[in-house]
Every structure is written in C-alpha cells, then in structure tokens.
Amino acid sequence: DAGLSKSRNGFGARLNKFLANFRHVDEDFFEDLEDMMIESDVGYDMAMKLSDSLREEVKLQNAKSKQDVSNVIIQKMVELYDEAGENEQTGINFAKSGPTVIMFVGVNGAGKTTTIGKMAARFKKQGKKVLLAAADTFRAGATEQLDVWAKRDGVDIVTGPENGDPAAVVFDGVKKAKEEDYDILFVDTAGRLQNKVNLMNELAKMKRILTREIPDAPHEVLLVLDATTGQNALNQAKLFKESTDVTGIVLTKLDGTARGGIVLAIRNELHLPVKFVGLGEKVDDLQEFNASEFVYGLFK
Ligand code: GDP
C-alpha cells in the first residue's frame, strides 16, 4: 500500500501539519484550512463547501480540542463525498448473465491500457474468463502494448489493423465473448478529444454494436483520469461525460501526486463514483476505492 500512503502523505501530510499547529477554532483556522484544501487539489468549490459545513458543525458540536475538530473534518469529508454522488454503486456492475462488458475511455497517456492490464489480471485470478478488445487502433503501439499485457496476464485478446475501424474490433470482441462464453470483455478505446463530435460518434457507434449483441452492454464505462494533471483531468472528464454515459472513474497515478485531494474535486464536480485507483505501473498497483477508508487514511 506504499502508493496510496504516498498520495495520502501529500494531502494527509498537509492536513496533519495543519492540525499539528492547531490552537483554537477562529476565523484564521477556517481560512488556513481553505488554503490547505485548495493547495491539495480539493477544488475551490469543494473547499468552500467543506469549510462552510465545518463552521456549522464545529459550532453545533461545540468542538474545541484538536481531536474533536479532526473528527468533524473526517465526518464532513465523508458526508460531502457521499452527498455528491448520483450513482452509489461501488465495484463493478456485473451482468446478470453472459459476458460483462467494460469500456475504458480517457485521453492518451491517462493509463487506460495499464488499468485494463491490471484489472484483467485481478479478474483472471478470481477464476474469470477474460477477453480484451484492442479498439484503440489510432495510437501507434497501443495494440502491441495491450497484447503485452494479455500475454503477461494469460488472457485472450482481439485486435485489428492499425488505423482500422475501432468498431470492427469491438464487433469481433463482443461476438467472440458471447460465442465462447467469456465472463468479462474489456474494451480499450482511443481517446481523441481534439474533436468532440468525432469522439461522440465513435463511442456511440461502439456502444450500438455492443448493445446489439448484448442488450444491457456496456455494463460499465470507466473514465480513466491521470490524477497528476489536476484541473486538466477535470476538464477532460467533463467532455467525456458529455460524450458518453460514464459510470465510474479510475483515478491513476495517485502514487505520483502529492495532491490526493483531487478525489474530492472529481466527486464534487462530476458526481461520479471513483471505483478504482492506480498506485503504480505494476500489475498489483490497482485498488478498489473506498471513500471513508481514504479519508480516515489521511489522518493517520
Ligand atoms: P493510455 O494511453 O491511456 O492507454 O495510457 P497507458 O496505459 O499507456 O499509460 C501511460 C503511462 O502511465 C505508462 O507509462 C504507464 O505505465 C503509466 N501509468 C499508468 N497507470 C499508472 C499509475 O497508476 N501509476 C503510475 N506511476 N504510472 C501509471
């Protein structure tokens, strides 16, 4: 868990340092808290919501000691995270029967291929029959990179020619998954944000093909975001959310950021659940996300 504790360290270390200097609750306390939150990528809006609700709750509970105040901060962070959600489903939404189809979207470099590789290994280990569809046909080397993961994980893969129609790969993938009784189909896609209309059409076409073969597919559309890109990640996410029905977030590279507060900003601005976090480049560096564990961890 070195990765997550590192990301906790950045945000958590700031929080703990802030609390170490605690004397009493006054206006300066709240202002310093707001500054600290914003520096940690919590986002302006979330920082203000937090400090407003803390002001109320501290008064209500008559919290005076450092311990009381810490408890109120934990309570309010978890509450605000939960309140910001539309979709309370944690973990993967599996198909009732037949293959579960999980589409991955996100810009190049966000960590889609790596996340698929990690997740495929995890489900393979659980005894599931896993198929990958390399539908990112535009990025040079994307198919080869996914193929390396497939070999390493010992799972099957469907590929197409470079610059070929990604929807054709999706078609081959979903047919194979159905005919050969796979449990899970992972679909890697190209994240070309340069042209939103193209992206929308491409994603819509893929979804149409999936739905024709399996009526309730895709069961998940996971948006992969690079935590180190801060506000940029949020802006990309908004575009993807407008382009397709995203069901959850995978936040990668939390090991590489000192500002784990982005978790709260994403939740507040996108109202989507963070389902998994990436904590490194290796196969085991993927964790299911749990908000209260994350928040409690910040105060360790
Ligand atoms: P894609 O273009 O979205 O498919 O992105 P890739 O999967 O190719 O990832 C881009 C780079 O980020 C690669 O060098 C990965 O090893 C790296 N990467 C992906 N996830 C993580 C993570 O959670 N932590 C770290 N440190 N690196 C990651």
**Alpha carbon of 231 to those of 41, 112, 206, 275, 289: distances in Å?**
8, 19, 28, 19, 21
Q: What's the pLDDT band for 60 if we cut at 50, 70, 90?
A: very high
- CA-closest residue to ligand 1 atom 5: 111
Per-residue pLDDT at 186: 98
What separation in Å is there between the alpha carbon of 10 and the centre of ligand 1? 20
Nearest residue to 181 (alpha-carbon basis) of 118, 104, 97: 97
Judged against a pLDDT cut of 70, whether residue 256 lies above it is answered with no
Give the pLDDT confidence score for residue 193 in this predicted structure: 67
Residue 3 CA to ligand 1 center (angstroms) comes to 14
Q: Which atom of ligand 1 is nearest to the CA of 142?
A: 4
Q: Which tens digit of pLDDT belongs to each residue from 200-229?
A: 888 899 999 999 999 999 999 999 999 888
Pocket test for ligand 1, best of 7, 152, 240, 252 (most atoms within 8 A of CB): 252
17 pLDDT band, cuts 50/70/90, is confident
CA of 254 to the centre of ligand 1 (A): 11
Distance 7 CA to ligand 1 centre (A): 16
Q: Which residues line ligand 1 (CB under 6 A)?
A: 106, 108-114, 145, 224, 252-253, 255-256, 278-281, 285
For residue 18, the CA-to-ligand 1 centroid distance in Å is 32
Q: Mind listing the pLDDT tens digit for each residue in 121-137?
A: 999 999 999 999 999 99
10 pLDDT more than 80: no
Residue 237 — φ and ψ, nearest 5°? -60, -40
Q: Which pLDDT score is estimated for 292?
A: 84
Q: Which of 39-43, 74-78, 118-122 has the lowest mean pLDDT?
A: 39-43
In the predicted model, what is the mean pLDDT of the chain?
89
Q: Whose CA is nearest to atom 20 of ligand 1?
A: 111
- To test the ligand 1 pocket, which listed residue (1, 107, 112, 114) has its Cβ within 8 A of the most ligand atoms? 114
Q: pLDDT tens digits, residue range 126-167? A: 999 999 999 999 888 999 999 999 999 999 999 999 999 999
